[in-house]
């Protein structure tokens, strides 16, 4: 049980960070499908810099900067050049996939991936008092610092969104741009801040994947986790609490898939479990929205 919970936390963390990244931009009315590309770029840069320097701090900082750079490109294309966010996001994802494979071939002469002989492990939290916490303690003990940071970011995100001027401005820009402008809010600046912060979170997610989970880089190693985060955010209603609940659901599905791979169930079906869970969750969410719309229409018709 402890091993399963440990694996579930490990699987949940990158999805949760991607969900929070998408949540901030969604609050500003920007659908951010570029999180996948931010994660992939950060994962590659973390391994490359870690191999070159042997420094965990340098690798982690480089991953954050890589995510931030991809977010800046996405922000410029969507907010300044006014491209469609969906098209721009897909372009970022394709750019990340292409650039990482190109660098693997041209710089490292290994298109199959980047596997350092020795790589510094990401900082981990190990303490006896953690082990003593019932149920969740053993699963938390030994996790990377990014897992704890992801957990901490959930209440912090809630405070930022609902208790700070930046959060008010962000939600106002997303709900009614004209009213926000009339209230003196610099909508493009607020939206750019949200996009850049999503890049930092995407960088953390990518670093967690390559530095704490695998210790190497493979082409397309994110395997749709950015899209899972987007699905978790949508299913969770673009709120911190909803996002963490949906991310945990997908994380448990991913851990269950890993556990079942050694059984008689076909690997293809097992690996698809998190994505099946995402489709079911989004379908249920959509059905609930449609029911509420029909109810409102009936109320208006009888009024």
Chain centroid, CA 253 distance in Å: 16
**CA distance linking residue 129 with residue 132, whole number of Å:** 5
Angle (nearest 5°) at CA 256 between 250 and 258 = 105
Q: How high is the pLDDT of residue 256?
A: 78
**CA distance linking residue 187 with residue 77, whole number of Å:** 16
State the DSSP H helix or E strand holding residue 221, giving kind and residue range, or none if neither.
none
DSSP 120: P
- Token pair listed for 286: 């959509």
Q: How high is the pLDDT of residue 235?
A: 87
In order of 50, 62, 152, 215, the CA distances from 59 in angstroms are: 5, 5, 22, 12
Q: Which residues pair with 242 in a beta bridge?
A: none
Q: What CATH topology corresponds to 2-302? A: ABC transporter involved in vitamin B12 uptake, BtuC (1.10.3470)
Q: How high is the pLDDT of residue 262?
A: 58
Dihedral sign computed on CA atoms, order 195, 196, 197, 198: positive
- Token pair listed for 140: 């938390």
Asked if 246 and 293 touch (Cβ cutoff 8 Å), the reply is no
**CA distance linking residue 59 with residue 181, whole number of Å:** 40
Asked if 233 and 249 touch (Cβ cutoff 8 Å), the reply is no
**CA distance linking residue 64 with residue 204, whole number of Å:** 6
Q: Whole-prediction pTM value? A: 0.89
Which residues neighbour 296 within 8 Å (Cβ) at sequence distance 6 or greater?
Answer: none
Asked if 58 and 50 touch (Cβ cutoff 8 Å), the reply is yes
3-class DSSP state of 217: strand
Q: How high is the pLDDT of residue 154?
A: 96
| Phi (first) and psi of residue 114, to 5 degrees | -125, 110
Q: How high is the pLDDT of residue 146?
A: 95
Residue length of the chain: 303
**113 CB-side CA count, 13 A:** 13
Q: How high is the pLDDT of residue 4?
A: 86
- Token pair listed for 61: 């900082």
Q: Which residue in this structure is represented by tokens 């939290």?
A: 125
**CA distance linking residue 78 with residue 194, whole number of Å:** 13
As averages over each run of 10 residues, the pLDDT of the chain (303 residues) reads 85 96 95 96 96 93 98 96 95 96 94 84 81 81 92 96 95 93 94 97 96 89 92 91 92 77 61 68 58 56 61
Q: What is the largest CA-CA distance in the chain?
A: 71
Radius of gyration of the chain (CA): 20
Q: How high is the pLDDT of residue 129?
A: 76
């Amino acid at each position: 049980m402890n091993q399963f919970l440990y694996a579930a936390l490990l699987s949940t963390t990158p999805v949760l960070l991607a969900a929070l990244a998408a949540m901030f931009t969604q609050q500003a009315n920007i659908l951010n499908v570029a999180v996948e590309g931010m994660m992939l770029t950060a994962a590659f840069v973390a391994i490359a810099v870690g191999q070159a320097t042997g420094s965990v701090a340098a690798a982690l900082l480089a991953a954050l900067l890589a995510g931030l750079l991809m977010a800046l490109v996405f922000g410029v294309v969507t907010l300044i050049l006014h491209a469609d966010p969906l098209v721009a996001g897909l372009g970022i994802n394709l750019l990340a996939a292409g650039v990482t494979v190109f660098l693997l071939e041209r710089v490292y002469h290994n298109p199959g991936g980047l596997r350092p002989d020795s790589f510094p492990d990401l900082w981990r939290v190990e303490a006896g008092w953690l082990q003593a916490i019932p149920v969740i303690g053993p699963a938390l003990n030994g996790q990377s610092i990014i897992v704890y940071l992801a957990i901490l970011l959930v209440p912090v995100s809630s405070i930022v969104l609902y208790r700070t001027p930046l959060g008010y401005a962000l939600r106002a820009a997303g709900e009614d741009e004209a009213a926000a402008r009339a209230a003196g809010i610099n909508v493009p600046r607020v939206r750019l801040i949200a996009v850049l912060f999503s890049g930092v979170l995407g960088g953390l997610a990518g670093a967690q994947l390559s530095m704490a989970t695998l210790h190497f880089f493979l082409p397309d190693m994110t395997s749709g986790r950015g899209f899972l985060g987007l699905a978790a955010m949508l299913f969770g209603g673009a709120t911190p609490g909803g996002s963490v609940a949906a991310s945990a659901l997908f994380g448990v599905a991913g851990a269950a898939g890993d556990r079942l791979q050694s059984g008689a169930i076909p690997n293809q079906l097992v690996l698809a479990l998190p994505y099946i869970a995402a489709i079911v969750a989004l379908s249920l969410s959509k059905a609930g929205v449609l029911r509420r719309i029909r109810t409102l229409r009936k109320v208006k018709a009888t009024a």
